Amino acid sequence: MDFEPKITSLGTQDSEQTGSMETAESYELAIVGGGPAGLTSAIYAGRARVSTCVLVGTLPGGQPANTAGVDNFPGFPNGISGSELAQRFQSQAERFGAKIIPQPAVEVDFSKRPFSIRSTRKRYKAQAVIVATGAAPRRLGVPGEERFYGRGVSSCATCDGFFYRDKQVVVVGGGDSAVDEAIFLTKFADKVTVIHRRDELRATKIYQEKAFANPKIDFVWDSVVEEILGDEAVTGVRVRNVKTEKTDMIKSDGVFIYIGMEPKSDLFVNQLELDRQGYIVSNRRQHTNVPGVFVAGDVQDPYYRQVVIAAGTGAIAAMEAERYLGRYT
């Protein structure tokens, strides 16, 4: 069997329950987000004996759960599957006493202390908060994308790769995710075409070498996708070469989009200072503009977006939260 039984915390999400909202659960620290950043914060806070809850979002384990494998997290010389890494983060956080709450946060109030966070089920109060909501895949914003999302257009190769056995797919993007997932998709698809808007990949060299050596992968350079075509199902994409302005059709049964991420900061508009792209503004010690509210991971990182860095900022945020809560003198 090629899939180990996995245990992740989750519950049914998003039911607007008003009845039990009156009684709030109180913690010293509430962490919003259950990816590498949030769970690392929870490990540190738990070890400092700070009473901690973690509100896990819609993707338990965060983005690693949505990747085939992680090869650059130190300590795993043979790589580790993204889902297993995510699961290990969570077990470690739970071992030190963090309460994992399977619902996502839907509303926050940072205007007064204790801070207040509402999930789809309950209200939580906390003296300090770490925001680690991460980032979500960016969409192309072209005709056909919305209509075919989930039935021919995907951002999760590990979920949907199977449906493209012996078929042709395109992957849009040129970064690590795009190239890594293109390689992963060759396990299923006959042909994988990577469409990139520049004439060279941004992906790490080791991914590039693997992709160039793979006979199932070809590349369409200097091109952007302008439309996803199809009637009942996806049949192809229309691309435009940005240098020659020529348009072309590429036949395809599926479209996997990896053109970068967008910070998941909607919840914090008017609560925290955001930059123009929506990233939460923080200083080098992971403080936001609200004392007692800290931030970690991809929601504040437009540059690196690495598991190891998310974990690192999570550790800083937790240590700063501990200091704020008076754990250090």
Binding site for other proteins (CB under 8 A): 1, 3-8, 10-17, 19, 58-61, 65-66, 83, 86, 91, 149-154, 156, 158-160, 162-163, 232-234, 254
- Structure tokens, 208: 């590039």
Q: Which is nearer to other proteins, 25 or 222 (CB)?
A: 25
Work out how close the CB of 57 gets to other proteins at its nearest, in angstroms, rounded to a whole number: 11
> d(Cα 51, Cα 218) in Å, to the nearest integer?
52
DSSP 12: -
> d(Cα 288, Cα 83) in Å, to the nearest integer?
30
Which listed residue (2, 14, 53, 156) is catalytic?
156
Q: Which is nearer to other proteins, 143 or 291 (CB)?
A: 143
Q: Which helix (H) or strand (E) holds 28?
A: strand 24-32
> d(Cα 181, Cα 207) in Å, to the nearest integer?
10
Q: Which is nearer to other proteins, 34 or 174 (CB)?
A: 34
> d(Cα 288, Cα 295) in Å, to the nearest integer?
7
Compute how many other C-beta atoms are within 10 angstroms of the C-beta atom of residue 88.
15
Which listed residue (14, 109, 159, 275) is catalytic?
159
DSSP 253: S
Q: Which is nearer to other proteins, 16 or 245 (CB)?
A: 16
Residue 58 in contact with residue 104, Cβ under 8 Å?
Answer: yes
Work out how close the CB of 253 gets to other proteins at its nearest, in angstroms, rounded to a whole number: 8
CA distances 38 to 132, 278, 306, 325, Å, are 5, 19, 14, 18
Which listed residue (53, 160, 180, 301) is catalytic?
160
> d(Cα 256, Cα 215) in Å, to the nearest integer?
19
- Structure tokens, 246: 């020529």
Work out how close the CB of 162 gets to other proteins at its nearest, in angstroms, rounded to a whole number: 5
Q: Which is nearer to other proteins, 166 or 245 (CB)?
A: 166
Q: Which is nearer to other proteins, 63 or 300 (CB)?
A: 63
Q: Which is nearer to other proteins, 151 or 323 (CB)?
A: 151
> Could you tell me which residues come within 8 angstroms of residue 165 by beta carbon, excluding any fewer than 6 positions away?
188, 189
Clarify whether 53 is annotated catalytic.
no
Work out how close the CB of 256 gets to other proteins at its nearest, in angstroms, rounded to a whole number: 10
For every residue of 280-328, DSSP letters joined together read BP--TT-B-SSTTEEE-GGGG-SS---HHHHHHHHHHHHHHHHHHTTS-
Hunting for tokens 């199932």 — which residue is that?
216
Task: Select from 158, 173, 164 the least CA-distant residue to 211.
Answer: 173
Work out how close the CB of 234 gets to other proteins at its nearest, in angstroms, rounded to a whole number: 8
Clarify whether 156 is annotated catalytic.
yes
> d(Cα 45, Cα 327) in Å, to the nearest integer?
10
Work out how close the CB of 154 gets to other proteins at its nearest, in angstroms, rounded to a whole number: 5
Work out how close the CB of 116 gets to other proteins at its nearest, in angstroms, rounded to a whole number: 20
Clarify whether 190 is annotated catalytic.
no
Catalytic residues: 156, 159-160
